Structure 1
Amino acid sequence: MNFGIIRYVLGMVVDLEGILLLFPCLVALIYHEKEGYSFFLVAVVCLILGTISIIKKPKHKEFYSKEGFVIVALSWVVLSIFGALPMFLCGDIEKYIDALFETVSGFTTTGASISENVELFSNSTNFWRCFTHWIGGMGVLVFILAITPLNSGYNMHIMRAESPGPSVSKIVPKVKDTAKILYKIYFTMTVLQFFCLIIAGMPVYDSICTAVGTAGTGGFGIKADSMASYNAAIQVIVTIFMILFGVNFNVYYILLKTKEKKLAFKIEEVKVYFLIIFLAIALITINVCNNVKNITYTIRHTAFQVGSIITTTGFATKDFNTWPQLSRAILVLIMFIGACAGSTGGGMKVSRILILIKSAKTELNYFMHPRCVKTIKMDKKVVEKDQVRDVHAFFVTYVLIFIVSLLIISLDNFDAVTNFTSVAATFNNIGPGLNVVGPTGNFAQFSVLSKIVLMLDMLAGRLEIYPMLLLFMPKAWRRN
């Protein structure tokens, strides 16, 4: 293990967080809030500690998958530990474990909250909560790769560990240039949504918080009713952008930069993603709507909730906890599917689901025709056996972690639906579940043990499981 490079990168991460903490300080200045002092204090501490860590450069700058995964996992843990301090110190959240839960939920773009009424928080705290979504959406280390001169030959190990999906490909030959392109698209789409919300009549502060929260597919709202009190135009804009941020960002690069723009509309994962959204909206609308006159109203709210759940954003315009059982079951199913690989969305990813289905079909064909050689294809390209094996291993690990988490939080004696959907909502980085943790509920009632388990689930879900698991393997920490 190259501890020098780990210390060096973590120093850069802490330094960057110190700079980012100055943004809520600015919000506090605008609104004349004393909570800004807490953010400024933690920002200074982060800048000092980060600077001390990077003064001495590592002797060996080479690092491999093991170091890359550990760097990513530790970075997200450190980000959360320091990011929780201002909300605790200023008194907006009384218990540090709750502040940590809120911060982990923010950085992992989960949106699960311990607050009964977020409107009681200061503007600076609410901004920081939403801003953590934007920071975590594309990945803080992807941003660092775009602006720092780390050894480009090894950067892919970090990008692979932090980027969501069964496989990570470079848009252009250099990882640094790929990171820059991703952030340019991310930033541009965020700004575009911000201006659309302003035009639709949303206040500036609300527009900033909503835009950064949507971009990261996070879901922290600044209103007690999430997005329900905003007008129909705003809800439609948020619906559209939630779904757009759930698309693989490679698609946007193809549309903007390459001559063969038609390829963007032929990507199998994206077509299935939109098909699932359409079918879910249609089925839930039929199940929920009892009056033909209310069809437009029902479609708007159904589309919002389907877009929110499948992209794992977590905003809400309606309490879907009160919907019929079929509608609730559909929402739970798309919780697990999630968005596209290479997007800011969570869940298992549509591409993994497709590979699993095609793999099962191939096995059935093998039983019928043992001598027939069948390959799995995506976008007319053969999926390598190593990738299929990785998807199978991911699925098994995913199920095992889900079961263990479910058993542990069941010690709190909540009902089965609450237990199941609380794990599903955190592990898939969605936010709200059903019953106690529904759109109008929160996670405050869980025990400290359950909150720790759910925080680990959030981190594991955002980092695609393996980086977090590697932290608990003694062999990973042996010196090279």
Structure 2
Amino acid sequence: MKQIFVFARLIFIVLAIVGLSLIIPVLTALACGELNVIPAFTVPLLISLAAGTFFYFAGKKTAVKFSLRSVFAFVAVAWISISIFGAVPLIVSGSIPNFHNAFFESVSAFSTTGATILSDVEVLPRSINLWRCQMHWLGGMGIIALTVALLPLLGVGSFQLIKAESTGPEKGKITPKMANTAKTLWLLYLGFTVAHFIALKICGLDFIDSLSYAFSTLGTGGFAVKNASIGAYNSLPVEIICTMFMFLAGINFSLYFYVITGKFDEVKKNSELKAYISVFAICVIMIALVLIPHYGSFTKALRYSSFQVASVMTTTGYSTADFTTWPGAAQFFIFVLFFTGGCSGSTSGGFKIIRWVVLKKQAWNEMLRMLHPHGVFTVSLNQKAGRKDLVFNVAAFAFVYFALVFISTMISTFCGLELFTGFTASLSMVGNIGPAFGLLGPSENYGAICPFLKYWYCFAMIAGRLELYNLIIFLFPDYWKK
């Protein structure tokens, strides 16, 4: 019973922290005169704060460490709970009256997928649109990480909790204490958000739009407040700024800490960063060259190419053009980016560049071993010899990742989607990308798919955000054995 109490206590504290953030859309609703929407935010805000305050003080003297099984369960239940919580303002306000649609929108927001069921976001109250983007921001760096940063003395294994929520094959600390690591990362995240907000304001966007897009961009989510996404502004400065911040959000935030603390060597020798920049540059140039006849000049082609590459590679999902109307060669490179993702330790989703680096190096070693059977070859990362267990970890993750993609594709086709649309939608859901190809491209939405498929996609989005194992492990019989 003591364990159950601690479990429930932490869930309600997490919900209280998310609930407290509803103050921002409440103030937005007041400023915009959207008085009828305010109860949709204030009711869940007050209830979550009351419950969270009660449980915080009721169990303040109870310090119980979670078992490894409990950590997996807590993170999974916490993410499902906040997704349900995030749907409440959407339902109560009448913006999305159906639960399955509101839940899909909320899961897509917190997991930073950016797939929407809405065909017209401009009819929504501005406070609701801000909340949609704000959920991206909260989910981007991690809500468990935020909880640990704000309340480091909860008596729970902080490292195990954050490890279960963070992305990438290797998860470590950049400061001796995990609570300080979480705080440092969140402060860096906040700093980038403020910088992006100011830059958009300077470009002429109003306060609410600037804040909405700052939340959405740094969270690499992609929800927009205009039906045409960023393309609605038809502004080169806005596109350049968003491209830059999407690119920055796709980099491991630990590297920014090393820059600030003067550890430049850690940045220069980072294998993943080099691969990330290389893939980005190659795709931008190749697509731009293909698009010259389409847009009439290299500079215009480069404008649309760089934005779409940054958007898809970092799994943000913004659009200034519909890439499904581009020539096949340009679509090919966009399709390749569905398999890459950004860097580990960033807010982007996807397979992660570091895993492809590991697999490429291991494949190279296997060919060398064929030529030199008695040679000893290791995977070198960041100019350091790697470990065999990292290769095994990446190979196992690749199997689970693409197995979930193929299972999701099968379910998509059973639910009526065309094969390629279903396959790219499944890649998009598991990789938290947002748009797909075919009937679910950048100019379309997920509103027409059946409720069952929406729930399945919700599972895929949360599984993808939690790096698969933390949700799929509950299907493993050994998890339930004592």
What band does the TM-score fall into relative to the shorter chain? over 0.9
Contact 2:66/2:156 (<8 A) preserved: no
State how far apart, in whole Å, the 2-side matches of 1:107 and 1:277 are: 25
Aligned partner letter, 2:45:
A
Identify the match of residue 342 of structure 2 among 339, 342, 364: 339
Shift of 1:59: 4.8
* Counterpart position of 1:40: 42
Q: How far 1:47 moved relative to its partner?
A: 2.2
Identity %: 34
Return the alpha-carbon distance in structure 1 between the equivalents of residues 22 and 50 of structure 2. 13
- Separation of aligned partners in 2, 1:406 and 1:248: 30
Q: Give the deviation of 1:174 after TM superposition.
A: 0.6
Provide the rounded CA distance (Å) in 2 between the counterparts of 1:375 and 1:311.
29
Other structure's SS at 1:164 match: coil
CA contact (8 A) 2:289 2:298 kept: no
Distance change in 2, residues 1:322/1:291 (3 Å): closer
SS of match in other structure, 1:227: helix
Which residue type is aligned with residue 388 of structure 2? K
Greater CA deviation, 324-333 or 128-137?
A: 324-333
Q: CA–CA distance in 2 between the matches of 1:223 and 1:120?
A: 10
Q: Could you tell me which amino acid in structure 2 is paired with residue 442 of structure 1? A: N
Q: Residue 8 of structure 1 corresponds to which residue in structure 2?
A: 9
Q: Within 2, Cα distance between the matches of 1:209 and 1:292?
A: 30
1:47-102, CA deviations, whole angstroms, 9 ceiling, x for partnerless residues?
23334444442855112432222221111100001110111111111211001000
2:245 corresponds in structure 1 to 241
Tell me by how many angstroms 1:292 deviates: 8.6
Q: Which moved more, 1:332-341 or 1:366-375?
A: 366-375
Change (3 A) 1:291 1:309: closer
Distance 2:19 2:477 in 1: 31
Task: Find out whether 1:458 has 2:461 as its counterpart.
Answer: yes
SS of 1:217 mapped into structure 2 = coil
Greater shift, 260-269 or 179-188, is seen at: 260-269
- Which amino acid in structure 2 is aligned with residue 256 of structure 1? I
Tell whether 2:77 aligns with 1:74: yes
Report the TM-score when normalising by structure 2. 0.95
Matched, 1:212 2:215: yes
1:155 alignment partner in structure 2:
158
Further displaced range: 186-195 or 19-28: 19-28
Deviation by residue 1:198-256 (Cα, 9 ceiling, x = unmatched): 11111111110001100100000000000112211011100000000101111111111
Contact 1:435–1:441 (8 Å) recurs in 2:
no
Letter matched to residue 406 of structure 1: T
> Which amino acid in the other structure matches residue 240 of structure 1?
M
C-alpha separation in 2, matches of 1:295 and 1:207: 29
Q: Which moved more, 1:368-377 or 1:131-140?
A: 368-377
- Please, what TM-score do these two structures have when normalized by structure 1? 0.96
What is the CA-CA distance between 1:445 and the residue it aligns to? Answer: 1.1
Output the CA distance in 2 between the equivalents of 1:138 and 1:146: 11
Corresponding residue of 2:452: 449
Structure-2 separation of matches of 1:116 and 1:229: 15
- Equivalent residue pairs, number: 478
CA distance in 1, matches of 2:88, 2:269: 46
| Superposition map of 1:290-439 within 5 A | 290=293, 294-439=297-442
Which stretch of structure 1 is more off in the superposition, 449-458 or 467-476? 467-476
Report the Cα offset of residue 262 of structure 1. Answer: 4.0
Structure 2 gaps of 5+ residues are: none
* Structure 1, gaps ≥5 residues long: none
- Distance in 1 between residues matched to 2:152 and 2:120, nearest whole Å: 43
Report the Cα offset of residue 370 of structure 1: 2.1
Distance in 2 (CA, whole Å) between partners of 1:187 and 1:406 is 37
Aligned Cα RMSD in Å? Answer: 1.8
Q: Distance in 1 between matches of 2:480 and 2:53?
A: 24
